[in-house]
Amino acid sequence: MATQSECVDILVDDEHIAGTFLSPPTKLPGVLFVHGWGGSQERDLSRARGIAGLGCICLSFDLRGHALTVAQQQTVTREQNLNDLLAAYDLLAQHPNIDPSAIAVVGTSYGGYLAALLTALRPVKWLALRVPALYSDDDWMVPKRQLNRDLLNQLRGRRVTPEENRALAACAEFRGDVLIVESEHDHLVPHSTIMSYRAAFHQTHSLTHRVILGADHALTTECCQKAYTDILVNWATEMVVGARLDQQEGLAAANRMP
């Protein structure tokens, strides 16, 4: 973990010697995990532990209609699940040790779609999307299970622009750092959908796109799971450590000013 340093003067026997205080950052980055449709926070926990080791505070949670509330899956809407995400984000941002200007959101499939929408409603510095799904703006209040699968496949099979989709419009306005992870053999989120997302991110600070070879949508093999974990943790390390180094350089420059 990067540290903050402060030069101090130590008085001893009427003489002065130099010392340096080293301390961890007073505020830590936050990372919010959003699982996909039909999933749960369970898969995110191992990755959250790895990223927490970087000196981050992580939060995973179960969307309504999943895990303990699976009975609601037939009736839950995208509006309700977006509200779930907003509530989880606000809880993380209110943590006393969180730096609210340094929050990452990691979303998978349906969770990636919701995460993209979130960026238009809350401050997000880093955004990681694995196989982000795409949905029409129509039927927003219709239960997700009742959405027309044929129409969804048509939407995902063509290039979609920010002008015609709310999630992509949010991506077009996003100015942070982005990671997109694609599965080579994805039958639910095809390459065209990934490219719609990628093209929408035209104002980002950085954009990283990775393809997991041989992977399906759910990453059903252990090697594909590991590949994604490595990609995510390495990217998070680069983002978090880089931000701390930038912060330290800024503090050092401020201390050098007359």
Rounded to whole angstroms, the Cα distance separating 234 from 34 reads: 19
Domains of the chain listed by start with CATH number? 26-238 (3.40.50.1820)
Structure tokens that stand for 214 in this block: 């041989």
pLDDT digits (tens, 9 = 90+) for 114-171: 999 999 999 999 999 999 999 999 999 999 999 999 999 999 999 999 999 999 999 9
DSSP secondary structure string for all residues of 50-115: HHHTTT-EEEE-PPTTSGGGGGGTTT-BHHHHHHHHHHHHHHHHT-TTEEEEEEEEEEETHHHHHH
Q: H/E/C letters for each residue in 17-29? A: EEEEEEECCCCEE
Among the listed ranges 62-71, 172-181, 234-243, which one has the minimum average pLDDT value? 234-243
pLDDT digits (tens, 9 = 90+) for 227-238: 999 999 999 999
Rounded to whole angstroms, the Cα distance separating 200 from 134 reads: 13
